[in-house]
Structure 1
Amino acid sequence: MLIIIGSLIVFASTLGGFMIAGGNPVVLLHVSEFVVILGVALGVLIIASPGHIMKEIIHKVMGALKGGGASKSDYEDILKLLYEIFMVGRRNGLIALEEHVMSPNDSAIFQRYPNFTADHERMQFLINGLKPIIDGKIKPDQLEELMFGELEARGEEKDHPVHLLQLVGDSLPGIGIVAAVLGIINTMSAIADGPEVVGERVAAALTGTLLGIFVAYGFVNPLANRVKLNNGSEMQVLNCILAAVAAFAKGLAPLTAVEIARRTLDSSVQPDGDELEETLKSLPSPK
């Protein structure tokens, strides 16, 4: 929602300032310039992007428009889920985690947190972290390294759409110049038609330059930055899970492991420590 509001402000400010200065918005409506700039920008994106990343760009942009990022209540659910899982392992033995980890859709614990289970990436990352604990085939320090490696790979993958959006944003001013040059060429061929025609075509050419810069710095680059921030929020969720699972694997108490994870969070989404502890202690005992 904020992206839409910001975009409206950018558009209204630019057009409003132009009109206050005595400009007529109609002179900015040159379809040929829109076709050149937006068409070339789309072509650049298609050339630079594999098919699966194109889909991811659409997904990320839609997520940015919706807001994206985990809320404070989401983190509370994540920390409660981790605590319940760890308590099962502490009281009933690590082998007791197997039924929850191997069949999370049938797990009574996971079913209590539908928002978490609906996110495939978060679920998969947690499951991948818990499986080695059950197997007992690697040491706690090795588990942390293993999960950190997966975290880095996911982070790099998430940055691909950002880089491509930034590529398009950085290319748009140059594309605007291309559109302007085409407009000047068109103008030079119409000099014999008189100053009125020449003036109209020069205005169209300058509109191409304006459009390229306006779309780049008013929309595409800010959108790329929002997607990057949303990626950071998603990575923070995974890092929170990593911190908790790694701490539990090292033998720390469930409450301590969850507290370590809580402290990795930004202050804007970090649950209060005392309130969270009271909430965790009031959860039903694992069976």
Structure 2
Amino acid sequence: MFGIVGIVVVFAMVFGGYVFAGGKLEIIMHSAPHEMIIIFGAAIGAFVIGNDKHGIVATLKDIAKVFKGPHWKPKDFQDLLCLMFQLIRIQRSNPVKLDQHIEDPNASAIFSAYPKILADHEAVALICDTLRSASMNYDDPHQVEEVLSKRIEKHYAEAQHSAHALQTMADGLPALGIVAAVLGVIKTMASIDQPPEILGKMIGGALVGTFMGVFLAYGLVAPFATRVKAVIDEDQNFYNLIQEVMVAALHNHAPNVCVEVGRQNTPANLRPSYNDLEDALKASKQSLAA
């Protein structure tokens, strides 16, 4: 919603201010289609050259984050804490029983109670692989902790690709705008024998290229890149929460202590209150017991 509002404000202020100052939109409207073909077409081509198929698909998919916002909501963080509490509690009381949950999460009653988390393969793999590693009698829990930390860092680096790709495109758009403007000047110089009023329109049309390149870069694509990065950063807190709870579990803290460590390390805008989490934990215990 805010993304759409922002785009409307950008267009209204830029073009509205131009018209309010006495500018005429005819020149821009006449030149914009040709300039867009040159500038945005070249930017897309450069984007395709600089990215593989996976990167292109991921970037196109992540553009939706500008309008949808973060995937993980505050309720999901509470659900994650409840899920991990149940798994850690089983690990401590009956390690053999834990195997049926981490070896086949789709058939697990615990995981099935949280379908949104179950649908995220990376989150499920982080939890199951860490619990599986912990059951291998590692001499030092820091070994598992280090592996988990590097895996989350790798996931974060891969998730940032879309934001980097969009920012690279934004950095190149002003230069492509100059390319379009230079081509417009070349066209104008070929018509130097025309009357001043015609040359004026042609020069104005050429300058539209510079305008379009800068406008697209700083009015649209760069803000898109910034927003995508912000959403990825916020969603990353979900995986960081898994790490916090798992590390506490590796050091043999009680299950309720583990989830409390995770709760307190969750950003304030996503953190469930202590009482809400306690109520959710009680409800999860009752549902599984039933």
TM range, normalised to the smaller chain?
over 0.9
2:266 alignment partner, SS class = coil
* Letter matched to residue 183 of structure 2: L
TM-score (norm 1): 0.95
2:22 alignment partner, SS class = coil
For 1:86, the equivalent position in structure 2 comes to: 88
State the Cα distance separating 1:137 from its structure 2 match: 4.3
The answer as to 2:22 corresponding to 1:13 is no
For 1:198, the equivalent position in structure 2 comes to: 199
* Letter matched to residue 2 of structure 1: F
- The more displaced of 151-160 and 120-129 is 120-129
Give the conservation status (yes or no) of the 8 Å contact 1:95–1:134.
no
1:135 alignment partner, SS class = coil
Give the conservation status (yes or no) of the 8 Å contact 1:98–1:134.
no
For 1:74, the equivalent position in structure 2 comes to: 76
Which aligned pairs between 1:16-95 and structure 2 lie closer than 5 A?
16-29=16-29, 30=31, 31-92=33-94, 94-95=95-96
* Mapped partners of 2:272, 2:81: distance in 1: 9
* Letter matched to residue 72 of structure 1: P
Q: Flag structure 2 segments of 5+ consecutive residues without an equivalent.
A: none
Which aligned pairs between 1:1-287 and structure 2 lie closer than 5 A?
1-29=1-29, 30=31, 31-92=33-94, 94-137=95-138, 139-284=140-285
* Letter matched to residue 34 of structure 2: S
State the Cα distance separating 1:166 from its structure 2 match: 0.9
* Mapped partners of 2:116, 2:204: distance in 1: 53
Give the conservation status (yes or no) of the 8 Å contact 1:129–1:242.
no
* Letter matched to residue 71 of structure 1: K
Distance 1:87 1:187, change over 3 A: same
* Mapped partners of 2:10, 2:184: distance in 1: 26
State the Cα distance separating 1:276 from its structure 2 match: 1.3
* Mapped partners of 2:96, 2:136: distance in 1: 8
1:283 alignment partner, SS class = helix
1:217 alignment partner, SS class = helix
The runs of at least 4 consecutive aligned structure 1 residues that moved more than 4 Å come to none
Aligned Cα root-mean-square deviation (Å): 1.5
Q: Could you give the per-residue CA deviations for residues 131-168 of structure 1, whole angstroms, max 9, x where no partner exists?
A: 21233346321111110010111111112222111111
Q: Flag structure 1 segments of 5+ consecutive residues without an equivalent.
A: none
Distance 1:138 1:58, change over 3 A: farther
* Mapped partners of 1:227, 1:248: distance in 2: 32
TM-score (norm 2): 0.94
State the Cα distance separating 1:191 from its structure 2 match: 1.3
* Letter matched to residue 275 of structure 1: D
Q: Could you give the per-residue CA deviations for residues 196-217 of structure 1, whole angstroms, max 9, x where no partner exists?
A: 2211111111111011001100
* Mapped partners of 2:9, 2:125: distance in 1: 40
Count of matched residue positions in the alignment of Structure 1 and Structure 2:
286
Q: Could you give the per-residue CA deviations for residues 70-102 of structure 1, whole angstroms, max 9, x where no partner exists?
A: 21111111111111111111222x222110000
- The more displaced of 272-281 and 185-194 is 272-281
State the Cα distance separating 1:26 from its structure 2 match: 2.3
